[in-house]
Structure 1
Amino acid sequence: MEHQQHIANKNHHGHHDHHNHHAHMIADFKKRFWISLVITFPIIVLAPMIQNLVGFELGFKGDRSIQFILSSVIFFYGGWPFLKGMVEEIKKRSPGMMTLIALAISVAYFYSSAVVFGLNGKIFFWELASLIVIMLLGHWIEMKSVMGASNALQELAKMMPSIARRIKEDGVYEDVPIADIKSNEMILIRPGEKVPADGIVVKGESHVNESMLTGESKPVIKHKDDQVIGGSVNEHGSLKVKVKHTGEDSYLSKVIGMVKEAQETKSKTQNLADKAAAWLFYLALGAGLTTLVVWLSMGKDFDYALERMVTVMIISCPHALGLAIPLVVAISTSISAKNGLLIRNRTAFENARKITAIIFDKTGTLTKGEFGVTRYKSISNSHSDNELLQIAASIENSSEHPIAAGIVRKAKEKDLTLGAVEHFQNITGKGIKARFKDREIKIVSPGMLKELGVEAPSDAFKSDDETVVFVLIDSSLIGYIALADEIREESLVAINTLKERGIKVFMATGDNQRVAKAVSDQLSLDNFYAEVLPEDKQRIIKEHQQNGYFVAMTGDGVNDAPALAQANVGIAVGSGTDVAAETADIVLVNSNPQDITNLILFGRATYKKMMQNLWWSAGYNIVAVPLAAGILASVGILLSPAIGAVLMSLSTVIVALNAQLLKRQIKK
């Protein structure tokens, strides 16, 4: 773990710091919200405006001073993130939500404080407190639903073991931290262990699972002089490996670099609420100053004109604006999770409605990611098809090969009883043999069958995506079993639905051309890319983006991480690696490709609610601001601060109720 942290800190210190900073900010907003909420209650109870609305009186000597002290605490403590944010936005010359909130609370605080110390007017401390509390709540909700892909690099680093078994010159083994391993040194990798560094096999033979690194569904057999990749899993025999690449030069570190680069260059959709807030800021400033100037020019007292100006500027920052989007996102993410979608990026719903092309990874996404029996047939008169499967499964039950696992799984699905075997032996790279019921059973590859001088049945090879093994009893062929990385039942339905909506569907996989074409043909894809490396997948995404497509990428392995980060919408299937999920915007919790269709529908519904809430929360200013400014004062219509406060509260309630209606839309 120390080494893992060392990698993360050494290569991506800034990214790691960003993750910690984000988590700290969430905790900070939460703490400020609860403390401010507690302080707000006495301010509301002591507010004359609230007392008049509710119909009670509670006044005593020094009550305004208490309100001033409590409001000062809320303003400087609860309002600090907004005041600080205003400074940052002004420095960037792009006023937004923070500037609008800071303007409203500052006007309310300093005007009300002046009234406490002698200025003739009304105090707005309760509006100040309630605005800060609601905005803190909104930002807290928002940030919790925004936890982006900042864990991705740490998850990648975790794939590397912390200890390596180095072979010294005298042949003695010693366990050393992986950071101490150097190029050209010899290391031993035992069965079940992760490969600690890129290297070349010097001695030994084994199957190595590289699926989470390269996308190849089938564990790859490694012989002398073959390359192994750090982070892959050695499944069977022991391997002596000469180290080739370590640290920053390793394959995994290069993948980490690509993920980091893609995340840093990924365009960020500007928050719609910030756009509305920018307009409202200029509206509040302009309307407030105009109100002051107009009333003064009409001969009104400065105190009266100032009160009108303050009312306008406070009303121009609706409480509802702070909740308009966070509430919709929070409800959407909750309901979506129940429907198999885990939303990790708040803009994912909005972006999903724009998708024009989807690139699927094959292994574990369109397919199940494990070998399954597709066909099995006995050619012997003395054995039925199920007896053939039972015999093969009994033998394969002693093997750890993925093909063996597929055969055993199929036998168990058929409720077949597996028998005991004796003298089990692995025929390296060619098959296995054992004694079963006093007879020699062999399960061999097509190559081994040919070596034995036995001709394969004409119907044994039907599909390019199948691996076929043959079962022999005492050197006589009794049948064959075909296996493949099975296509998910939901994949065809999902792809047809996407194509009906005018979305182009592609596949990019680390598997070979023959297997990729077979899957593509079965699913009627628009195109496919085979034998691709991580950088190829990322390049393919970029090419489609340059051609005008809004691209979604779906995958489950480490090899998919750079492409998931590069895509406009990254979608990880839940059955894959943590790093794929951490890099993606959305995780298919149930690993169901059909959920992608739901994602697009959810995205459209969510965006619609966002727009409705923004129009309501900001749009009520069209009526409220002119009335607060006194445009109809000549006919006796003047929006008082109390009525303005009621309208603000009503706007917040409407926004909240409208967000709740999203549940019905999604259920439909």
Structure 2
Amino acid sequence: MKTWRTWGVVTVSGLLIILSWITGSDLLMIVAAVVAGWRIAVSAFRALRIRTISIDLLVVVAAVGALFINNYWESAAVTFLFALGGALEKATLNRTRRALSDLVDTAPETATVLRDGEPGTVAIRELVPGDVVLVRNGEQIPVDGRVVSGHGGVDEATITGESVPAEKTEDSEVFAGTWLRSGVLQVEAVGIGPDSTLAKIIHRVEDAQDDKARTQTFLETFSRYYTPGVMLAALVVGLLARNVELALTLLVIGCPGALVISIPVSIVAGIGRSARDGVLIKGGEYLETSAQVDTVVVDKTGTLTDGRPELTDVEVLDPNYTEDEVLTLAARAETASEHPLAEAIIHGAESRGLTVEMVGKAEPIAGQGIRARVDDRTVAVGSAALLREIPDASRTLELNGQGRTAMYVGVDGRAIGILAVADTIRVDAPAAIKALHDKGIRIIMATGDARRVAGNVAAELGVDEVHAELMPEDKLTIVRELQAAGHTVAMVGDGVNDTPALAQADIGVAMGAAGSPAAIETADIALMADRLPRLPHALGLARRTVGTMRVNIAVALLTVAVLLAGVLLGGVTMSLGMLVHEASVLLVIAIAMLLLRPTLREDETPDAHRAEARQAASV
């Protein structure tokens, strides 16, 4: 109905103008002006009631004035073109908001719930937390929840922007609005309807697209004074020149429509594009600020590194043993340990296809390691103090100097090998750091980890500056000092200890925010997928958006200047001025819509090579 009211007015007015040309009837031209102009007049009147002189008022005054001087064609043309421009503007703005409508369309409405072991279809609103829903291959997952049974590949593009389906097994987290592309899953409902991650994303994007950038707020304030100024100037020029038509033409030429629309349409397009790419930007103000970021402060553990220790080295000291035998003995001994490094050793052995059997007898030794009975042998894993024969320590010192934790593997008191464990650099971290550097952004590591470990990670990645062994308040101090020096700072972190610095930074960035409502609501930028390259992509998109805003402002101002010159020099009529004016409005919208083009390019490292990449990038 709304579409008919908008386009119906334009269509009827246009037909009346054509009939007027054919019949030569001035009455039809007047009716065409009234049909196209009455809604514009209503809008102008409503604005006046709240003491606002709108663009619509300029058009109404010009159109009515043209009728009084018997220039019926100009009156009809001005109102028709303004109505046509408004209709096209709405249509193109709706297209720029399609990112949000696509998200809304993905929200599921029904679910197959298992009750008493029998499946049944119910509306989403009928579900309660704890219900188990059945999702078959090709179906949409209706709730946020935890997989309790089954295995499958889930397309999470609507949430994280990831193009490759994520493998889901028991205890995996899944999100409403995503699609099961293979397998069958039974999911225990946790977040339903408005409590789901998808609903929170839609809410955040809605708010963000309506949020105003500082430039937009300034232009709106400017237009409140500009529009009355145009009316006053037209009146003065008309009186001085004694030319009513010139004054009316100036009213039309002075319409700041393209100027006013140039900013919001860019913001809507930029935030819509980022939402499709799995990046939530909180609003126009943060979009503008992100474009100015010249320094990124980043935590190490869990951000630049994987945040969990992994086996990096297996070295043989006794030629009677192979690497696999050394690792198997160590892993079996560690099955009796609760130390965090034990899991890394066991996982390292299993990833090589080795069989790791539990041991029955073991003796953890505080601060040194563990001894265990393995196949009638005493196997020790830890420091040299566990061994009778003291080996050459040069290699372990070398590994420790590289930021790795080195330990001996001994059999019956004699060292047979060395294992090293470390928190490894994320596979995507080098590409992210390079992309940030390519944008001229300085990168500072701020971590509570040991100086030696931090230094090795920084050297491997090419980080510009390192601050290690920090307390949370130290990170806050670093951000404040950078801001005091005139830098625009983005802070990236994933832990509670980063919260003060995240709050202080000009832009706080949360990584891997999918499934974290708090991160979605509080972060200035939320990277839904746990992928560091999304950060330079988000900052680059912000720069493109601000650049588009500036281009659009220039187009709008240049159009007004050229038309004004054309009026004063002669040759630009009221209808021609309105035509060019509406064309400029559509031009700035078209320029903004270029932001909707996909630009996300990520190196999807195949799973088969990820382990190799991690090993090569280990600290």
Residue identity opposite 2:525 in structure 1: I
Tell me how far apart the structure 2 counterparts of residues 418 and 470 of structure 1 sit (CA, whole Å).
21
Distance 1:509 1:392, change over 3 A: same
| One-letter code aligned to 1:649 | E
Question: Does residue 41 in structure 1 map to residue 7 in structure 2?
Answer: yes
Residues 143-177 of structure 1: CA deviation (Å, up to 9, x unaligned): 9999xxxxxxxxxxxxxxxxxxxxxxxxxxxxxxx
Q: CA deviation at 1:610?
A: 2.4
Q: Which of residues 358, 361, 364 is equivalent to 2:296?
A: 358
Does the CA contact (< 8 Å) of 1:345 and 1:586 recur in 2?
A: no
Describe the shift of the 1:68–1:282 C-alpha distance in structure 2 as closer, same or farther (beyond 3 A).
Answer: closer
Q: Is the 8 A contact 2:407 2:418 kept in 1?
A: yes
Going from structure 1 to structure 2, the CA distance change for 1:71 and 1:522 (only over 3 Å counts) comes to closer
The equivalent of 1:652 in structure 2 is 585
Relative to structure 1, is the Cα distance of residues 418 and 549 closer, same or farther in structure 2, using a 3 angstrom cutoff? same
1:552 aligns with 2:490: yes
1:575-618 deviation digits (Å, cap 9, x = unpaired): 79665565444345555555555555544444333222221133
Unaligned runs of 5+ in 1: 1-34, 88-98, 147-267
- Matched-pair contact (CA < 8 Å) for 1:46–1:59: no
Q: Secondary structure at the match of 1:359?
A: strand
Cα distance in 2 for residues equivalent to 1:412 and 1:619: 67
Say whether residues 1:405 and 2:339 are aligned partners: no
Counterpart AA for 1:419: V
Q: 1:337 to 1:435 in 2, by over 3 A?
A: farther
Structure 2 residue aligned with 1:388? 326
In structure 2, the CA distance between the partners of 1:43 and 1:511, relative to structure 1 (3 Å rule), is: same
- Is the Cα–Cα contact under 8 Å of residues 605 and 666 in structure 1 kept in the other structure? no
Q: Deviations over 1:405-433 (max 9, x none)?
A: 3223323433x232332426673755456
1:607 aligns with 2:546: yes
How do 1:409-488 and structure 2 match up within 5 A?
409-414=347-352, 416-423=353-360, 427=364, 429=366, 431-432=369-370, 436-437=374-375, 439=377, 441-443=379-381, 445-446=382-383, 450=385, 455=390, 457-458=392-393, 459-461=395-397, 462-464=399-401, 465-474=403-412, 476-488=414-426
Distance 1:112 1:409, change over 3 A: farther
Candidates 549, 554, 557, aligned match of 1:618:
557
Q: Choose which of 236, 241, 244 in structure 2 pairs with 1:293.
A: 236
Q: Which residue of 1 aligns with 2:316?
A: 378
Alignment match, 2:574: 640
* Aligned 1:144-543 pairs, distance under 5 A: 271-276=214-219, 278-279=221-222, 282-300=225-243, 307-308=248-249, 310-313=251-254, 316-318=255-257, 320-333=258-271, 343-346=281-284, 350-352=288-290, 354-396=292-334, 401-414=339-352, 416-423=353-360, 427=364, 429=366, 431-432=369-370, 436-437=374-375, 439=377, 441-443=379-381, 445-446=382-383, 450=385, 455=390, 457-458=392-393, 459-461=395-397, 462-464=399-401, 465-474=403-412, 476-492=414-430, 494-495=432-433, 503-523=441-461, 525-543=463-481
The residue correspondences of 1:87-126 to structure 2 (distance < 5 A) are: 103-108=54-59, 122=75
Give SS of 1:404's match.
helix
Equivalent position of 1:193 in the other structure = none
Contact 1:394 1:408 in 2 (8 A): yes
**CA pair 306-503 structure 1, distance change in 2 beyond 3 A:** closer
Per-residue deviation, residues 152-209 of structure 1 (Å, max 9, x unmatched): xxxxxxxxxxxxxxxxxxxxxxxxxxxxxxxxxxxxxxxxxxxxxxxxxxxxxxxxxx
Residue pair 1:43, 1:71 contacting (<8 A) in 2 also: no
Structure-2 separation of matches of 1:540 and 1:608: 30
* TM-score with structure 1 setting the length: 0.58
The answer on whether the counterparts of 2:445 and 2:466 sit within 8 Å (CA) in structure 1 is yes
Rounded to whole Å, the distance in 1 between the matches of 2:217 and 2:85 is 17
Task: Provide the C-alpha distance between the structure 1 equivalents of 2:237 and 2:318, rounded to a whole number of angstroms.
Answer: 102
Residue 371 of structure 1, CA deviation: 0.8
Aligned partner letter, 1:624: L
Cα separation, 2, equivalents of 1:440 and 1:647: 89
Q: For residue 522 of structure 1, report the CA deviation from its aligned partner.
A: 4.2
Q: If the length of structure 2 is used for normalisation, what is the TM-score?
A: 0.62
Whether the aligned pair in 1 keeps the contact of 2:97 and 2:268 (CA below 8 Å) is: no
- How far is the alpha carbon of 1:620 from its aligned partner? 0.5
Q: Using a 3 Å threshold, how does the CA distance of structure 1 residues 384 and 50 change in structure 2: closer, same or farther?
A: farther
Contact in 2 for aligned 1:561/1:583 (Cα 8 Å)? no
CA distance in 1 between partners of 2:347 and 2:560 (Å)? 65
**Equivalent position amino acid for 1:390 in 2:** T
Return the offset for 1:363. Answer: 0.9
User: Is contact 2:43-2:56 (8 Å) kept?
Assistant: no
Question: Contact 1:442 / 1:475 at 8 angstroms: preserved in 2?
Answer: yes
- The answer to whether the Cα contact below 8 Å between 1:357 and 1:552 also exists between their aligned partners in 2 is yes
Please list the CA deviations of residues 200-247 of structure 1 after superposition, one character each: whole Å capped at 9, or x if unmatched.
xxxxxxxxxxxxxxxxxxxxxxxxxxxxxxxxxxxxxxxxxxxxxxxx
3-state DSSP of counterpart to 1:481: strand
The corresponding residue for 2:108 is none
- 1:233-289 Cα shifts (integer Å, max 9, x gaps): xxxxxxxxxxxxxxxxxxxxxxxxxxxxxxxxxxx9963344455555544433332
Question: CA separation in 2, counterparts of 1:374 and 1:137?
Answer: 57
Residue identity matched to 1:41? W
Taking a change above 3 Å as real, the CA distance of residues 369 and 497 of structure 1, as seen in their structure-2 partners, is same
Aligned-pair CA distance for 1:484: 1.2
Indicate how the Cα distance of structure 1 residues 372 and 602 shifts in structure 2: closer, same or farther if over 3 A, else same.
same
1:341-371 alpha-carbon deviations (Å, 9 max, x no partner): 5544445565455444332211122212111
Question: Aligned Cα RMSD in Å?
Answer: 4.8
Distance 2:533 2:503 in 1: 22
In structure 2, the residue corresponding to 1:631 is in which secondary structure? helix
3-state SS, counterpart of residue 309 of structure 2:
strand
Listed one character per residue, the Cα deviations across residues 26-46 of structure 1 (whole Å, up to 9, x for unaligned) are: xxxxxxxxx865532222223
**Gaps in structure 2 of 5+ consecutive residues:** 101-210, 602-619
- CA offset digits 1:106-136 (Å, max 9, x no partner): 4446777999999997366656656766777
Q: Rate the CA distance shift 1:419–1:638 in 2: closer, same or farther, 3 A.
A: closer
Letter in 2 for 1:609: T
1:431-477 deviation per Cα after TM superposition (whole angstroms, max 9, x unaligned)? 4565544555444x43xx52665635512232242223443445554
The structural deviation recorded for 1:526 is 4.0
Identity between Structure 1 and Structure 2 (%):
27
Q: Distance in 2 between matches of 1:475 and 1:345?
A: 64
Residue 487 of structure 1 and its aligned partner are, at CA, apart by 2.2
Q: Aligned partners of 1:640, 1:113: CA distance in 2, in Å?
A: 13
AA matched with 1:651 = S
Which residue type is aligned with residue 646 of structure 1? L
